[in-house]
A and B are shown apart, each in its own frame.
Chain A
């Protein structure tokens, strides 16, 4: 073998070793993430699964840990998510459609675009302050579900807008051109070709946004959602609490029984979250299948 050949062989071995080392590093990073999550889930399940029961779901909070339940918090969460979604989805998707399909590309839209991207990174407590000043005080909505939902809608709006814009941008321009070329108006192009093509992506963005909203606590503490609520909201102007607030409340109690309740509350919260996501994924797959037909 020539010297050049030997040198090549030696370098080849080094290159292969590097490749294997990098792959191992990636696997390690992935397993660390999964392991941490699994550990958390196992710990919470072990501590809380014994408390999850129909009584737990169907009882109001109590000073006695074994009688306390999450009825008020669960209903508060359902109310808040419903209202948040009905504010954030139409406004967010509408804004995205305007920015991508209608707005001229000028300095104003660039400023708006940059601002939306920055808003997505603003700490949630700041939205709480805004909600307190605007909805609770200025609009006199008090500490109602409506005020909380509006605050939460503001918080997730940038996520909905950015994800929807990405989805709209992913629709090839040739589809728009084809629709225009047969005499479709702009509204027909957007509503019959672009939006249906972008729908699965938009839905993914909505899932992400609502998953964020369901777990947020800080802005609701800020606007003064209650910690002890012995009733379920019967209208958007009622006072409320939500699951993360209830969990936060229980973890700050000294009795260990309340910590079990907190773990059980986390399990319920996770189940609600997973159900929501699963529904959205099923919807998305159905739309993708329909688009493929």
Chain B
């Protein structure tokens, strides 16, 4: 399976790679249940407007990709979904960001609670400088989980397709793992707190093609259980894994705008916007 995919990257154009299943999905687009939704979201860092009027509905148990050129606000947007941007001085958001129908930026919503239910995987693998076991157990520990930690750790590592590789070195430092293993460990760490959504901010940009494909396979498996939002500037990757794609662009004042959102196949084959077509055919960006 993996070998086949490697060849695909080299030989095929990405448009032809969109699986047939996604075409069917496209037909059912309207009926799917939305888990995360941005409504007229505007974001500022100090005086600089980073996002303008973003509206987007992320369906549950699907993979949604956010693509676009560098600096268009993809990362800013995905980091709004679990309120990671709260940590940046000068950050301000207006509009609504609904998670299961509730605005996560409303007064009285604790960002810690949001982050427990919406997990995140970062661009560069960032395991804690501790053992493999402690990395996965950390989230469960801080959230005061009851139950056997070792079971939670094993389940998360199995779901992240890492168990067989690390089951004999759970006590070793996580930094001794390879880059791809570290990133799957970070996915396991996110899974251990039983989130409902997993956000991935360019999870493969620091990995080699083999490790990248492993993560992509894993994402397809995880999508049976979780909603996944992935930021990528690799269009082939979006075409390979995502059910839905959102295309973002930088406006004249450098604020990020969403110019297109729909089933991946439609976005890649019959985009409504000329700018989308220009971007995915490589004419700019």
Interface of A toward B, CB cutoff 8 Å: 104-105, 172, 174-185, 188, 192-193, 197, 291-293
**Seed contacts A177-B122, A291-B130; 19 additional CB < 8 Å A-B pairs:** A105-B89, A172-B126, A175-B128, A176-B87, A177-B84, A178-B127, A179-B128, A179-B138, A179-B142, A180-B84, A180-B87, A181-B115, A182-B139, A183-B113, A183-B115, A183-B139, A188-B142, A292-B129, A293-B171
Instruction: Verify B122–A180 contact, CB threshold 8 A.
Output: no
A104 cross-chain contacts in B, Cβ below 8 A = 89
Q: Which residue of A lies closest to B115 (CB)?
A: A183
The residue that B173 contacts in the complex, of A181, A182, A293, with Cβ under 8 A, is A293
Q: Which segment, of B98-106, B158-166, B186-194, faces chain A?
A: B186-194
The residue that B120 contacts in the complex, of A181, A193, A291, A292, with Cβ under 8 A, is A181
State how many angstroms separate the Cβ of B184 from the closest Cβ of chain A.
Answer: 14
Report if B143 contacts A (CB, 8 A).
yes
How far, in whole Å, are A293 and B84 apart by their CA atoms in the complex? 29
A181 cross-chain contacts in B, Cβ below 8 A = 82, 84, 115, 119-120, 122, 190
State how many angstroms separate the Cβ of B137 from the closest Cβ of chain A.
Answer: 10
Q: Which of B116-146 contact A (CB under 8 A)?
A: 116, 119-120, 122, 124, 126-131, 138-139, 141-143
What is the predominant secondary structure among interface residues of chain B facing chain A?
mixed
Known: A104-B89, A192-B142. A183 touches B128 (CB 8 A): no
How far, in whole Å, are A292 and B115 apart by their CA atoms in the complex? 27
B16 cross-chain contacts in A, Cβ below 8 A = none
Scoring B residues 23 to 64 as 1 if CB is less than 8 Å from chain A, else 0, what string do you get?
000000000000000000000000000000000000000000
Known: A105-B89, A293-B131. A182 touches B138 (CB 8 A): yes
Interface of B toward A, CB cutoff 8 Å: 82, 84, 87, 89, 112-113, 115-116, 119-120, 122, 124, 126-131, 138-139, 141-143, 171-173, 186, 189-190, 192-193
A180 cross-chain contacts in B, Cβ below 8 A = 84, 87, 115
How far, in whole Å, are A292 and B132 apart by their CA atoms in the complex? 11
State how many angstroms separate the Cβ of A235 from the closest Cβ of chain B.
Answer: 43
B84 cross-chain contacts in A, Cβ below 8 A = 177, 180-181
In this complex, which of A178, A192, A293 has the most chain B Cβ atoms within 10 angstroms of its Cβ? A178
How far, in whole Å, are A181 and B135 apart by their CA atoms in the complex? 13
B141 cross-chain contacts in A, Cβ below 8 A = 192
Q: Which residue of A lies closest to B90 (CB)?
A: A105
How far, in whole Å, are A105 and B120 apart by their CA atoms in the complex? 26
How far, in whole Å, are A181 and B192 apart by their CA atoms in the complex? 12
The 3 closest A-B pairs by CB, nearest first: A183-B116, A182-B139, A174-B126
A292 cross-chain contacts in B, Cβ below 8 A = 129, 173
How far, in whole Å, are A203 and B127 apart by their CA atoms in the complex? 24
B130 cross-chain contacts in A, Cβ below 8 A = 291, 293
Q: Which residue of A lies closest to B172 (CB)?
A: A293
Known: A104-B89, A192-B138. A182 touches B190 (CB 8 A): yes
How far, in whole Å, are A105 and B87 apart by their CA atoms in the complex? 12
How far, in whole Å, are A184 and B192 apart by their CA atoms in the complex? 13
A-B contact pairs, 23 of them (CB 8 A): A105-B89, A172-B126, A174-B124, A175-B129, A178-B128, A178-B189, A179-B138, A180-B87, A181-B115, A182-B115, A182-B139, A182-B142, A182-B192, A182-B193, A183-B115, A183-B143, A183-B193, A184-B139, A188-B142, A193-B128, A292-B173, A293-B131, A293-B171
Instruction: Verify B142–A184 contact, CB threshold 8 A.
Output: yes
B122 cross-chain contacts in A, Cβ below 8 A = 174, 177-178, 181
B89 cross-chain contacts in A, Cβ below 8 A = 104-105
The residue that A197 contacts in the complex, of B120, B129, B186, with Cβ under 8 A, is B129
How far, in whole Å, are A177 and B189 apart by their CA atoms in the complex? 13
Q: Which residue of B lies closest to A188 (CB)?
A: B142
B192 cross-chain contacts in A, Cβ below 8 A = 182
How far, in whole Å, are A183 and B114 apart by their CA atoms in the complex? 8
Q: Which residue of A lies closest to B89 (CB)?
A: A105
State how many angstroms separate the Cβ of A247 from the closest Cβ of chain B.
Answer: 44
B143 cross-chain contacts in A, Cβ below 8 A = 182-183
B129 cross-chain contacts in A, Cβ below 8 A = 175, 197, 291-292
How far, in whole Å, are A193 and B192 apart by their CA atoms in the complex? 18
A182 cross-chain contacts in B, Cβ below 8 A = 115-116, 119, 138-139, 142-143, 189-190, 192-193
Instruction: Verify B139–A177 contact, CB threshold 8 A.
Output: no
A293 cross-chain contacts in B, Cβ below 8 A = 130-131, 171-173
